[in-house]
Amino acid sequence: MSRKHIFLLGLVTSGVLLIFLTILIIFSNKILFPPWYHPGLTEDCNLDIKTDFPELCNKESNPTPKDNFETFEVESNSGKVSGWFFPSKNLDTAVIFVHGAGGDRREGYKRWEFIKSKGYSYYIYDSPNHGISHTNNVGVTYGAKEQEGFKSVFDLVRQKHKNIFVITNSFGISAVALSMDYWRGGIKGIIMENPPYSLERLVKENPIAMSLPKWFVELILNYVSYKIEFPVQNLNPGEIAKSFPEIPIFVTHGTEDEAVPYKHGEDFFQNLKSLKKEFFKAEGAKHGKVYHTFPEEYKKFANQIFSWGQELNKN
């Protein structure tokens, strides 16, 4: 082979490698920094929040809810975690809201009126790398770092309240699932909307990923694991669900969810061993829109979980 052919072969090989490297970085960044990911508490709110609570979506770095609330900060193994606490007269029971990947505490605010009507205290916070909590600029870690934030907030809440319930949206359940051994026995019930089965499954079901060689998709996942310092294969709340304690659990998922397909929630629910579990198929609802689209149905099932959870104290 002549030197010219060797040079051309090397040039082509380098070009192919450069293309694959570019795709690797772009796809990985789409996972770590999704388009809706906006750290801080500024005007970057989802449409529901902008419509219903415009006071929370402005250029101020620390928006203020209209209701009586207190700010709190706790330290975690992933840095400072910041949130809002809405007190009630009933000090026995509290609810913790865990937002999804790329969101912040404001996701939980629209549920406050419902929680207040129950007489429960309410904690909503920014997971590590979200909102105004500590960030290491890695982006969304889908539960890897977020679980540390949840554990610290849970510690704060259990010092003040006897009955603790958790509400999650999307990948918020991953933080709860990964920390299961930490809170086991301390949570009375869980309410989850559009839960993902696993990050790996979600990525591999993506149309772009399906058009790429399988070995290259694995390379992308390994690169993400390296960036977040946690194996992507372990970000699998749907599998962990098989070991969940047998507490009351409500799962709901929208059939028109384009971010986390409906089948994820259905499979997640099937893995739960609890005899006190409920599932609501939200026909036509999009990602994170079940509470917004079917508020009465959501509240009905949530009330059942609260009722069952309170009964655990009597046994």
Say whether both 58 and 98 belong to one domain.
yes
Say whether both 106 and 215 belong to one domain.
no
Tokens of 257: 């969810």
Using the 3D structure, point to which of 177, 212, 234 is the last residue of a domain.
234
| Cα→Cα distances 153→26, 76, 135, 143, Å | 34, 9, 17, 14
* Alpha-carbon torsion angle 233, 207, 27, 261, nearest 10: -50
Q: Give the pLDDT of residue 5.
A: 55
Q: Please give the angle made by the CA atoms of 137, 201 and 28, to the nearest 5 degrees.
A: 30
In a domain, 76, yes or no: yes
Q: Give the pLDDT of residue 1.
A: 58
Parts of the chain with a pLDDT under 70: 1-17, 43, 47, 59-63, 313-315
Say whether both 139 and 52 belong to one domain.
yes
In a domain, 38, yes or no: no
What's the gap between Cα 113 and its chain centre? 21
In a domain, 118, yes or no: yes
**CA gap 172, 40 in Å, rounded:** 18
| Cα→Cα distances 183→32, 101, 177, 190, Å | 27, 21, 10, 12
φ, ψ dihedrals at 115, nearest 5°: -65, -40
Say whether both 140 and 289 belong to one domain.
yes
Say whether both 120 and 179 belong to one domain.
yes
In a domain, 300, yes or no: yes
User: With contact defined as beta carbons under 8 Å apart, do 158 and 130 qualify?
Assistant: no
Tokens of 131: 């909102």
Q: Return the number of other C-beta atoms located less than 10 Å from residue 117's C-beta.
A: 9
DSSP state for residue 6 in the 8-state scheme = H
Q: Give the pLDDT of residue 54.
A: 77
Please give the tally of structural domains in the chain: 2
DSSP codes of every residue in 131-176: TTS---S----TTTTHHHHHHHHHHHHHTT-SEEEEEEETTHHHHH
Q: Give the pLDDT of residue 59.
A: 62
Q: Three-class SS of residue 212?
A: coil
Say whether both 124 and 151 belong to one domain.
yes
Q: Give the pLDDT of residue 42.
A: 73
Say whether both 118 and 224 belong to one domain.
no
Say whether both 92 and 223 belong to one domain.
no
Say what the pTM is: 0.92
Tell me the residue range of the domain where 50 lies.
Answer: 43-198+237-314
> Which CATH number goes with the domain that contains 304?
3.40.50.1820
What's the gap between Cα 64 and its chain centre? 23
Say whether both 261 and 226 belong to one domain.
no
